[in-house]
Structure 1
Amino acid sequence: MELKYLYTFKTILDAGSFQKAAERLHYAQSTVTLQMQLLSQSLSTALFEKIGRKMVLTQSGRELLPYIEEVLAAAERLQQYSQHGRQLTGTLRIALPETLLSYQMSPVLAAFRRAAPAVKLSLQTPNCYEIRRQLINGAVDIGIHYDIGGYGPSLVTQKLGSYPLVLVGSPALHQQEQDFVTPGQQKDLCLLTADKNSLYQQMFDAYLRTAAITLNGEIEILSTEAIKRSVSGNIGVSYLPRFTVEEELRQGTLRALPAAVPRPEVATVCTYHKNKWVAPAMELFIRLLKEQLCPT
């Protein structure tokens, strides 16, 4: 049995298809197909079956997956063993929301860069639910995200800090439109959001429904900086972690608006797969992360 066949098998699961796995591995698709046929022969069982136009895991494939992951984790440990006591190398794949990357991670990244300059960091910014999925699938090594729960037994979760949330609007906003406490209002205001499925956006949407406050439309803008400029320009209001708008609130370009959202804060966690070997570079990053983001 070739170890590279196991890598190909896992890459198919991470990428979602034979074709995407071939692109990621720089193989021809026929090579991926052949490797899976040879792996199936070695294991004396079919690993994939075609359902419609998609290739999906068979029951045997699902049962063998934990063992294959154990073998790959052991292979990774062997690769790293010779590097013990020497300069850290390799790639560390990290997924985290854009707000945390832009406003909280600079000290962590700077410290890690000083300690492990030869390690390549691959940073991705999906939403928290996608981060959880990628961790379960093994597509990333570490997730740093808001605590959405539902991690199950396959993920290790470590709490970091908690951050207050705030509703912000333009200082030019009419006095009556600044009130988000009185229930039963219909406001001619637009809600600006970076991700309508984000945890804190869902919290604010639930509050609006409970308070029977209706807004006039929603604009999804992928950049928090662009959202802040839009709010400052009186295009709408936005519900954000307070750390993203501290400077603007201090300068008076944004204004905090009263809103009776229950428990207006969001916790952050660091997560990784329980079968993932915590390599020295990964251990270093998590330690620096805790030093910077955990409350003292």
Structure 2
Amino acid sequence: MNIENIEAFVYVIHFNSFNKAADALFLSQPSVTARIQSLERELNTLLFEREGRNFSITEKGKQFLPYAQQILQTYKKGKQQLLNLSAAPNELRIGSTVSVSNYVIPDILPIIKKKYRNLQIKLTTAPTEVILEKLLNKEIDIGFVRNVTHPYIDCTGFYEDPIRLFVHQGHPFVEKEQITIEDVSREALVFFECGSLDWMKIHRLFATLNHPPNIDYHIDNLETAKKLVAKGMGISFLPELCARKEVKEGVLVPIHVPALGGLSLRTNLISLKDSSMDFSPLCVDALKQII
């Protein structure tokens, strides 16, 4: 059975499009169609029902899909084994979002370096979209990003960073037992905006009130937001990890707000599916030592 035919089948389903699958595989649309037809002949069954330009997966196709995905994964593992993954790496190129570069990378790199003393490390800080592009172009080996999907990459959850409300040491909230969104809305807010879905959920919490929140500052930089809160200029919702140092020093105080629920910023670790060296376990092990 041709592995490329199976790959085409999985990609068409992933993108729900022959054209998009062709783009991802760097093939023409007729080439993808030919691979699917070849696979159907091998299996002696139809995998897709076709009506003009529209198509749908058949029941037989649905039954075959998990096996096709497993075949591709097994092939990848076998390829990695032949490339001798046990050899010590000599270079690690990391792509990372700003928050991970500032608050995670400085802690995990010494742990990685301790294990591989001759390892040269290069860090590139950029938005998620740029990191994904660099990974696909093989300019970096791994990336720490927000949520992203692509058939060429493996994406695993790396770290869940809870969003907490932070105030300065002398703020009245420190002594108050129960804090509501109504209470928060009446305080001067330093609103850190990073564009993720979880931050939009915070906006929606305020939307349930009869009056808008008192946002004095819209800030796109975590360090600036923290310093404004520390100076008593307002209170702020921030990722817990970024304020770890200030909390330890007593400069900032985390406040429990039940309405926040389990809001968090998720960082994912991405790598190429066909990578000859998998650094993901190394980074995960390093993270476990610091949290």
Q: TM-score range by the shorter chain?
A: 0.5 to 0.7
Match of 2:10 in 1: 10
Residues 261 and 124 (structure 1 numbering): CA distance in 2 closer, same or farther, change over 3 Å? same
Match of 2:286 in 1: 288
1:145-160 superposed matches below 5 A: 145-146=159-160
For the pair 1:121 / 2:141, whether they are aligned, the reply is yes
Instruction: Give the Å deviation of 1:14.
Output: 4.2
Conserved 8 A contact 1:97-1:125 = yes
Conserved 8 A contact 1:192-1:218 = no
For the pair 1:244 / 2:258, whether they are aligned, the reply is no
Conserved 8 A contact 2:179-2:258 = no
1:95-174 superposed matches below 5 A: 99-100=99-100, 102-109=102-109, 111-112=111-112, 115=116, 121-126=141-146, 130=147, 134=149, 139-146=153-160, 165-168=163-166
Conserved 8 A contact 1:164-1:242 = yes
SS at match of 1:142: strand
Letter in 2 for 1:121: D
Match of 2:78 in 1: 78
TM-score of the superposition, structure 1-length normalised?
A: 0.58
Aligned counterparts of 1:20 and 1:292: Cα–Cα separation in 2 = 41
Aligned counterparts of 2:52 and 2:224: Cα–Cα separation in 1 = 43
1:1-296 superposed matches below 5 A: 1-15=1-15, 17-49=17-49, 55-84=55-84, 86-87=86-87, 99-100=99-100, 102-109=102-109, 111-112=111-112, 115=116, 121-126=141-146, 130=147, 134=149, 139-146=153-160, 165-168=163-166, 184=182, 187=186, 191-195=191-195, 197-198=197-198, 202=201, 214-216=212-214, 224=222, 237-246=235-244, 256=253, 260-261=257-258, 281-293=279-291
Conserved 8 A contact 2:162-2:240 = yes
TM-score of the superposition, structure 2-length normalised?
A: 0.59
Higher mean displacement: 80-89 or 209-218: 209-218
SS at match of 2:286: helix
SS at match of 1:26: coil
Conserved 8 A contact 1:169-1:232 = yes
Conserved 8 A contact 2:192-2:220 = no
5+ residue gaps in structure 1? 147-162
Higher mean displacement: 107-116 or 258-267: 258-267
Q: How many residues align?
A: 258
Letter in 2 for 1:243: L
Aligned counterparts of 2:102 and 2:61: Cα–Cα separation in 1 = 40
Conserved 8 A contact 1:193-1:239 = no
Letter in 2 for 1:240: L
Match of 1:157 in 2: none
Per-residue CA distance 1:99-158 (angstroms, 9 max, x = gap): 4454124433564476476995231522xxx46xx49x8842422132xxxxxxxxxxxx
Instruction: Give the Å deviation of 1:182.
Output: 6.3
Residues 17 and 88 (structure 1 numbering): CA distance in 2 closer, same or farther, change over 3 Å? farther
5+ residue gaps in structure 2? 122-137
Aligned counterparts of 1:16 and 1:227: Cα–Cα separation in 2 = 42
Instruction: Give the Å deviation of 1:3.
Output: 0.8
Aligned counterparts of 1:227 and 1:54: Cα–Cα separation in 2 = 50
Letter in 2 for 1:144: F
Aligned counterparts of 1:54 and 1:192: Cα–Cα separation in 2 = 44
Instruction: Give the Å deviation of 1:67.
Output: 0.6
